[in-house]
A and B are shown apart, each in its own frame.
Chain A
Amino acid sequence: AQSVAQPEDQVKVAEGNPLTVKCTYSVSGNPYLFWYVQYPNRGLQFLLKYITGDNLVKGSYGFEAEFNKSQTSFHLKKPSALVSDSALYFCAVRDRYSGAGSYQLTFGKGTKLSVIP
């Protein structure tokens, strides 16, 4: 079984300050990890992913995430928040060695990020 926890329903940060959106996961094997962003009245958009290799992953719009195997975490970060970053953020996980044809991602409940001008 695989699961994702996003412990904060909402995160508020002032524009220009660093932001962190937290995510922890559980899989039986090694994980594939993803972050998606959803703007109002839009579908989910891919931000970044961790498959293997460097634990620090860089993605779109200046976002990055750090894979921490010992803490089973994959927190999303940005050094300087913009008002336009305000959106709903989803973390997702898949077991790397799930059965052939079983490509189901498990999503967290989402974290609403509000960047205050």
Chain B
Amino acid sequence: DAGVIQSPRHEVTEMGQEVTLRCKPISGHNSLFWYRQTMMRGLELLIYFNNNVPIDDSGMPEDRFSAKMPNASFSTLKIQPSEPRDSAVYFCASSFGGDGYTFGSGTRLTVV
């Protein structure tokens, strides 16, 4: 198994632009999590899905952030419009039955 696959690995965009981050979870995993990591705030849970249904999005910072999981093998996290304070590393993780997570390699987002 190739693990959790995130794309792109790096994204540099201008303030105000739309950014879409992508994640392919491990086949057979039924839970998917989006995290944001910064030096100041550490690891923050943004949203998680179970069986493609959003369960808890209380960590999504603002309406500028949205996430979808149209099927079991794909999820997106969108930021529109992006702001410099959104600069961070965004991780996707998947799990089966809550028995630990497998993390992707992350997307490093820089908004200038």
Specify whether A and B are partners: yes
Mark A residues whose CB is within 8 Å of B. Answer: 32, 34, 36, 42-46, 49, 51, 90, 94, 98, 101-105, 107, 109-110
Asked whether, in the complex, the Cβ of B50 is within 8 Å of the Cβ of A43, the reply is no
In the complex, which residues of chain A have a beta carbon less than 8 angstroms from the beta carbon of B103?
36, 43-45
Chain A positions within 8 Å of B43 at CB level = 90, 107, 109-110
Question: Are B104 and A43 in contact, CB atoms less than 8 angstroms apart?
Answer: yes
- Please name 29 pairs of A and B residues whose Cβ atoms are closer than 8 Å in the assembled complex, sorted by A: A36-B101, A42-B106, A43-B4, A43-B91, A43-B103, A43-B104, A43-B105, A43-B106, A44-B91, A44-B93, A45-B103, A46-B101, A46-B102, A49-B99, A49-B100, A51-B99, A94-B98, A101-B55, A102-B55, A102-B98, A103-B48, A104-B33, A104-B48, A104-B55, A105-B98, A107-B42, A107-B43, A109-B42, A110-B43
Q: Name the distance in Å between A107's Cβ and chain B's nearest Cβ.
A: 5
B90 to chain A, nearest CB (A): 11
Report how far A42 CA is from B50 CA in the complex, Å. 25
B contact residues around A107 at 8 Å (CB): 42-43
How far is it, in angstroms, between the C-alpha of A36 and the C-alpha of B37 when the chains are bound?
15
- Other than the given A44-B93, A104-B33, 14 more pairs (CB < 8 A) read A36-B101, A46-B100, A46-B101, A94-B98, A101-B50, A101-B55, A102-B55, A103-B31, A103-B50, A104-B45, A104-B48, A105-B101, A107-B42, A109-B42
Residues from 1 to 43 in B contacting A, C-beta threshold 8 Å: 4, 31, 33, 42-43
List chain B residues, Cβ under 8 A from A46. Answer: 100-102
Q: Are B105 and A103 in contact (CB under 8 A)?
A: no
B51 contact set on A, CB distance < 8 A: 101
Contacts A43-B104, A46-B100, A110-B42 given; does A104 touch B91 at CB 8 Å = no
Ranked nearest first, the 3 interchain pairs of A and B with the lowest CB-CB distance are A103-B98, A43-B103, A101-B50
| Per-residue interface assignment for chain B, residues 35 to 65, with 1 indicating a CB less than 8 Å from any chain A CB and 0 otherwise | 0000000110100101100011000000000
Q: Which of A32, A43, A94, A107 has the most CB of B within 10 A?
A: A43
Residue of B nearest to A94 (CB): B98
Inter-chain CA distance A52–B85, complex, in Å, is 41
